[in-house]
Structure 1
Amino acid sequence: MLASLIVTAVVVPLSAAAGPGIPAPRPAALPALTASTLTGIYAANSANAAAAADMAAAHGYAHRAEADREMAAPDRHLLAFDGRGPGQAIEVFGDLADADHVAVLVPGSDTSLDTYPRFRAAAEALHRRLTRTAPKGTRTPVVAWLGYRTPDTISTTALTTDRADQAAPQLREFIRRLRGVARPGATVSLLCHSYGTVVCARAAAHLDIDDLALVGSPGTGADTVTGLRTPARVWAARGEDDWVAEVPHVRTDFFGVTVGFGTDPLSPAFGAHVFAAGKGGHSDYFTPGSVSLTNLARIVLGDTAEVTRA
């Protein structure tokens, strides 16, 4: 019963993740990430996505071929692209090299290249909000980080930290590289959704970030903010209609496997700064005009006194 409740509460009811067999070229060989190499990196990944589209089409994967072609568009800015299997991509919205504030979004379960438009829409909505509300001349790029293989919708991997443990080193390395390309003094905020909050929690102790926001979280695997071992400000929010409120916030062993993610990040015992997310559901945190998006933008911009509390 516990496992069933966690599955129902944590995962998005969308079953479009790609199987592991979709072929694609190996990722492009890229230079070190610096302000001067960004243009070349974007071009190399665009070319790789175009080649992946051709390969997917040749093998009969029409839906993936279409998704890859969209990724290869000349106006897309891909820091990374891997079209193999479910796929991975890291996309930038805005001017990364000259940023004042950078927001990095980490998605939850069932996010792949085939479902990527939903994740991309969230990043675009945040970027538009930041651009509209930031002081004149302030640069606020957003990075959509699909840098790990997310759990499938209904699977045992959605119930444990295993996939997050695998993803954490990649996230740590990306934030390290990001700090190398962003200008000195730029703030970095990590905004994590659903199972993505577990990924962020597993990486948190080694991340040079200013703010960590957990939205729609089933728990992080840590009992308290102190357990995350991060100097960042830690925020948490849950929409009034988010079914994650029904998840049992426990950890227990099933035949030697730890299932569940422990303390509710919204509980006083956890110790996060709890902010308002309005009436939205599990997929509504980045909806344009929403309370949650407004508060997330304030967190990214450092306007913490303006964040409305739950």
Structure 2
Amino acid sequence: MASRPRSSRARRALLAVLVTASVALPVSGAARPGAVPAPAPAALSPLGTAGPSGLEYRYAAGREEILAARDMAAHHGDRRRAATLTAMAGRGRAFLSFDGRDGGRSAEVFGELSGAERIAVLVPGAGVDLDHYGRLRRGAEALLDELGSGSAVVAWLGYRTPVMLGPSSLTSALADEAAPGLRAFVRELSVAEPTARVSLLCHSYGSVVCARAASGLDVADIVLYGSPGTGFDDATALRTRATVRAGLGGDDWIARVPHVEIPLPFVTLGFGTDPVAPAFGAEVFDAGDADHSGYLRPGSVSLRSIAGIVGGTAGGGHA
């Protein structure tokens, strides 16, 4: 009987978040980067093998798409977007794909993908787009530095992320849209580098995306961190052969988000079981005192833990 009042309070708290977000949305939505026009990208043939010549072709095609989007943004008068895209097209940047429309879609490679023994695919959460791409890039660079040689990190911004604390961040609708693209991308990587150990690193709302895509993916690990939940009751419901792991930093505000699901007409709010809860059944890793944006911060406990998972040296066991 005692659980009912707590559940009721949690539901009311989540509804309060929704109401607050609904009021804030017109302000935040007005600044959505999707308002900046960009050309439709050319169709790409599958990567095939990750040989140097095939990769260079894809990287060159990505650079051309970025520059075309840069020119359109400059013509539109958005100097900030144009400057961001100029940097993305710079020497040493390597994009397997790019689409500047609707906030941006991209897949940037850090390290040497050809011959990589370990590949980490970063799946970001709410609020990440072309105008807020720097934090995703910094995390990828820090992880690559921690992993060392023989590794590659791919920052996969392959979907329209929800607005931070907006109503879209409380439902699985955008994750459902994103899942087929993530499945296709991971399969392409697996064909290109069939011997590489691939791990999905899923931050915040990205954990909802990974959970929706999990079934049938040939990856070693699905790592959920800073997660609001997945929309599944437990790890077995993901129907994956991968090891499902979860971590929550001591200073992460998302720990205060109620882990409930509220069925409403045509939509369900919330994502249910906390992935670090024993009932979920994931292998819980030490995330130290990470805050919500700090899991891949250089020198952090969480970064070392995640790098150990990607490298295949992390211990098992349910926490």
TM-score normalised by length of structure 1? 0.91
Q: Helix, strand or coil: the match of 1:80?
A: strand
C-alpha contact 1:6 1:260 (8 A) present in aligned 2: no
Equivalent position to 1:78, from 92, 95, 107: 95
How far did 1:309 drift?
Answer: 8.5
Is 1:93 matched up with 2:117?
no
Any idea what the Cα deviations from partners look like across 1:8-43, whole Å, max 9, x if unmatched? 89xxxxx69634221112113323203241101101
Residue 267 (structure 1) aligns with: 277
Any idea what the Cα deviations from partners look like across 1:92-148, whole Å, max 9, x if unmatched? 0111120111100000001101000111100000001101xxxxxx51100000000
C-alpha contact 2:283 2:317 (8 A) present in aligned 1: no
For 1:23, give the aligned amino acid. Answer: P
Q: 1:285 to 1:309 in 2, by over 3 A?
A: farther
How far did 1:208 drift?
Answer: 0.8
How far did 1:153 drift?
Answer: 1.8
Residue 186 (structure 2) aligns with: 175
Count residues with an aligned counterpart. Answer: 297
C-alpha contact 1:275 1:308 (8 A) present in aligned 2: no
CA distance in 1 between partners of 2:195 and 2:117 (Å) = 7
CA distance in 1 between partners of 2:300 and 2:36 (Å) = 37
For 2:191, give the aligned amino acid. Answer: G
- The percentage of aligned residue pairs carrying the same residue is 54
Q: Helix, strand or coil: the match of 1:89?
A: strand
How far did 1:5 drift?
Answer: 3.9
Any idea what the Cα deviations from partners look like across 1:222-268, whole Å, max 9, x if unmatched? 10111000010111000001111111111112334200000010111
How far did 1:180 drift?
Answer: 1.1
Work out which structure has the larger RCO, using CA pairs closer than 8 Å and 6 or more positions apart in sequence: 1
Is 1:188 matched up with 2:190?
no
Q: 1:269 to 1:309 in 2, by over 3 A?
A: closer
C-alpha contact 1:18 1:114 (8 A) present in aligned 2: no
For 2:101, give the aligned amino acid. Answer: R
For 1:273, give the aligned amino acid. Answer: E
CA distance in 2 between partners of 1:273 and 1:8 (Å) = 34
Q: Helix, strand or coil: the match of 2:62?
A: helix
C-alpha contact 2:126 2:161 (8 A) present in aligned 1: yes
How far did 1:269 drift?
Answer: 0.6
Residue 284 (structure 1) aligns with: 294
- Gapped regions of structure 1 (runs ≥ 5): 10-14, 132-137
CA distance in 1 between partners of 2:216 and 2:81 (Å) = 34
For 1:2, give the aligned amino acid. Answer: L
- Gapped regions of structure 2 (runs ≥ 5): 1-12, 22-27
Q: Helix, strand or coil: the match of 2:130?
A: coil
TM-score normalised by length of structure 2? 0.89
Equivalent position to 1:110, from 124, 127, 133: 127
Q: 1:276 to 1:5 in 2, by over 3 A?
A: farther
Residue 301 (structure 1) aligns with: 311
CA distance in 2 between partners of 1:86 and 1:115 (Å) = 10
